[in-house]
Amino acid sequence: MNARLDSFSYDDDIVRKFLWATMIWGLVGFLVGLIIAIQLPFPQFNFAPYLTFGRLRPLHTNAVIFAFAGNAWFTGAYYSSQRLLKTRMWSDGLSKFHFWGWQAIIVAAALTLPLGFTQSKEYAELEWPIDIAIAVVWVAFAINFFVTLAKRRERHIYVAIWFYIASIITVAILHIFNNLSVPAGPLKSYSIYAGVQDAFMQWWYGHNAVAFFLTTPFLGLMYYFMPKAADRPVFSYKLSILHFWTLVFLYIWAGPHHLHYTALPEWASTLGMLFSVMLWMPSWGGMVNGLLTLRGAWHKVTEDPILKFFVVAVTAYGMSTFEGPMLSVKSVNALSHYTDWIIAHVHTGALGWNGFLTFGMVYWLAPRLFQTEIYSKKLVDLHFWVATFGILLYVVAIYSAGATQGLMWRAFDETGRLQYPDFVETVMRLMPMYWVRIAGGTLYIVGMILGIYNIYKTWATRPAAYAVPVVQAAPLEKAFHDDPHAPAGAGLWARFTSAAWHRKWERMPLFFSVVAAVAVIVASLFEIIPTFLIKSNVPTIASVKPYSPLELAGRDIYQREGCFNCHSQMIRPFRYETERYGEYSKPGESVYDHPFLWGSRRIGPDLAREGGKFPDLWHVRHMYSPREITQKSIMPAYPKLQENVIDFDGIQKNVDAMAMLGVPYGDAINRAPQMARDQAKLIAAGIEATGGPKGLENKEIVALVSYLQRLGRDLKNATAVTAPQPAVQPVPPVAMAAPGGGNR
């Protein structure tokens, strides 16, 4: 034993900061969620241009995931890591940089998303300068964390820390690879991937954001704070080790289940399904481990609202990790995909698992951090019950909304025609459930307000100066010692099972982390590279051409307004989909889509074959006032599109960025603005000739119409290859420029 003892204290100031940030951003994120929940049944609450559903929905998801859950993880990680490693964080400066940097990024997100700056990839919407800032802050966090790990005074690294390590490394990798893009301006960029590859990359990211931002960090918190609150060790440490390794091995492969029946190659989708189903086992192992930590302490649950929060959190973890594998089974997914079922699923996870684990942790931490009694235990209990009822109302309503709409989409009548051919019918049926969701969400927010009030009152009774207890512990010795508890024995087998090698590895946390990172990268590359480089996986279609400069400008508007939040562009190969929308989508169709815009939810109909379905004038009027065209439509109105002027000269740099990505733009590389002006003039003249408003030739609406009228046209052209130009259209008298623009 080393005689020398180090004296040190834990940095709780940073924990207090993150705790406040968690509660405040949580409230903001929930409120934005309530606003968009209200906008669905009451579309008049869309205040274009900044506060429409399409722009606020990403703000809600980003705020809840990265601001609320992110700050909650950091709160718990800074508290528990120091104590588990018996050391102060290596650098208080880096801790503070992490805190203020992260909050600055959140503010940047809250400003840029309503302003329409978006990469339009779910949970990765933030534009490239913010992405770089995230990477910098993350690296600072990682350096601080890993050096602290190296300076620890506890030989074994507790399993909660393993979960943090895996999360820190994987989030960094996911963030960097998914956000690779070519900038086309200070807040505009195009993903370097296109179509299928971009979709694959995005959902590899998207699913693992759920895994490594909302699951593994919170499991780390669970393995620390559940034993703390129950005052007994975790039920089975062996099970927690197994839980960790199984999740780490399996999660990274599961992403493709977000793309069942899309244009993704089938092998990838099946792989994703299999690994997702396998994930059920370790997840439930972890849930059981969490619940059984309360063995012999169940009587405490009735008295201690903190334990109540934890029990519901772990149960919600169990429910959503059962439901996840079920939804990833292709035949279930055929019904659930694009519906509210998925929204209900994520809210079981977010409200139940992340939310309640956070609240339990916050209430446990508050009296310890503020060194006083909790202001009101009754209010904690009230928060628990109000929020629990809120969750129930929310998820029951939205589960039934999902099932209802999914079943209505696929219903045929006795004559073999779609029973609900009008998409809006399937939306109207959901309205009562949307009202219930608003009630449920409101209850959850009431609970949050009670929580903030309670924490505030607790904080108000803090001592004039916080006591800073000094802890003494010996530093780790340089020399290697065998585990004192290890069984004696000789030979290779005994050496392996005594895990002396593991103790050696634990002495090299940096090496260990690098090895883990390499494993994650290699596994990801093996899953992703084939779709990028093996030709047979993305068959090309000769008639698919790049968007014309004006169409590209229209596509940028489509992205800016967040249309993809409600409209998919991916028709699945089912009869009920092809009947409703047209020929199913092919992988070769989106080879020039940087980024892909397949969407993940149909609050409105699919648009993959929208081109030529309606005349230009219909789109002009529909964008101006959707409810004059479809009485019950819940789409926001976009009257400003008829006033905003297209920045024709700005189109060139966007075309150049696309050309840099290998899109064969030909002539447009030199004269994109002129080509766009020409096409816009043609379309505007057609609109005017059919009785529409005058003078639209330089307005944004024309660009958007040109893009919408282009959607799905290339494939129709493929069936009539002999015709040089689709001059004769069987569909309505559309006044159109040549689809594909003048660039062919």
Partner 1 sequence: MKLSDIMGAANLSVYTEIAMLLFLAAFIAIVIATFAPGRQKTFDAASRMPLDDEHPQTPR
Sign of CA dihedral 269, 323, 333, 442: negative
CB of 240 or CB of 388, closer to partner 1: 240
| 486 lies in the site for partner 1, by CB under 8 A | yes
Q: How many CA atoms lie within 13 A of 549 on its CB side?
A: 30
- The token duo for 683 is 């379309």
- In angstroms, the CA 439 to CA 267 distance is 42
Q: How far is the CB of 153 from partner 1 (least distance, A)?
A: 5
Which segment (61-69, 297-305, 521-529, 576-584) binds partner 1 by CB under 8 A?
A: 521-529
Q: How far apart are CA 567 and CA 120, in angstroms?
A: 13
Question: Binding of partner 1 at residue 270 (CB under 8 A)?
Answer: no
- Is residue 424 part of the contact set for partner 1 (CB under 8 A)? no
Identity at 408, one-letter amino acid code: M
Query: In terms of CB distance, is 266 or 477 closer to partner 1?
Result: 477
Contact positions with partner 1 (CB under 8 A) in 196-255: 223-224, 227-228, 231-234, 237-238, 241-242, 245-246, 249
Under the binding rule (CB under 8 A), the answer on residue 497 touching partner 1 is: yes
Q: Which of 19, 32, 56, 84 binds partner 1 (CB under 8 A)?
A: 84
Residue in 107, 111, 474, 720 binding partner 1, rule: CB under 8 A: 474
Q: Does 496 sit near partner 1 (CB under 8 A)?
A: yes
**CB neighbour burial string for 79-112, b if at least 16 within 10 angstroms, e if fewer:** bbbbebbbbbbbbeebbebbbebbbebbebbbeb
Least distance from partner 1 to the Cβ atom of residue 502, Å? 7
For partner 1, give the closer residue by CB, 136 or 474. 474
Cβ atoms within 10 Å, residue 465: 7
Q: Which of 4, 417, 535, 694 binds partner 1 (CB under 8 A)?
A: 535
Question: Quick check: helix, strand or coil at residue 182?
Answer: strand
Tokens matching residue 594: 């940087």
The verdict on 153 binding partner 1 (CB under 8 A) reads yes
Among 4, 416, 467, 487, binds partner 1 (CB under 8 A): 487
Nearest of 276, 162, 177 to residue 217 by alpha carbon: 162
Q: What is the token pair recorded at 105?
A: 């990024």
**Residue 335: which residues within 8 A CB-CB, separation 6 or more?**
341, 403, 406, 407, 410
Q: How far apart are CA 473 and CA 577, in angstroms?
A: 66
CB 292 to partner 1: min, Å: 13
CA–CA distance, 710 with 54 (Å, rounded to integer): 21
CB of 152 to partner 1, least distance (A): 9
Q: Does 485 engage in binding with partner 1 (CB under 8 A)?
A: yes
User: Does 114 interact with partner 1 (rule: CB under 8 A)?
Assistant: no
φ, ψ of residue 255 to 5 degrees: the values are: -50, -40
Residue placing its CB nearer to partner 1 in the complex, 417 or 485: 485
Provide DSSP, 325-372: HHHHSHHHHHHHTBSHHHHHHHHIIIIIIIIHHHHHHHHHHHHHHTTS
Binding mask 536-565 for partner 1 (x = CB under 8 A): x-----------------------------
State which residue, 157 or 386, has the beta carbon closest to partner 1: 157
Rounded to an integer, what distance in angstroms lies between the CA atom of residue 380 and that of residue 361? Answer: 12
Q: Give min distance, CB of 361 to partner 1, in A.
A: 13
**Stretch of 373-381, 495-503, 598-606, 717-725 contacting partner 1, by CB under 8 A:** 495-503
In eight-state DSSP terms, residue 6 is: E
- Least distance to partner 1, CB of residue 88, Å: 12
Helices (H), 123-236: 128-150, 159-178, 195-209, 216-230
Binding residues for partner 1, rule: CB under 8 A, are 1-2, 10, 80, 83-84, 86, 153-156, 158-160, 223-224, 227-228, 231-234, 237-238, 241-242, 245-246, 249, 471-474, 476-477, 481, 483, 485-487, 496-499, 502, 519, 522-523, 526-527, 529-530, 532-536
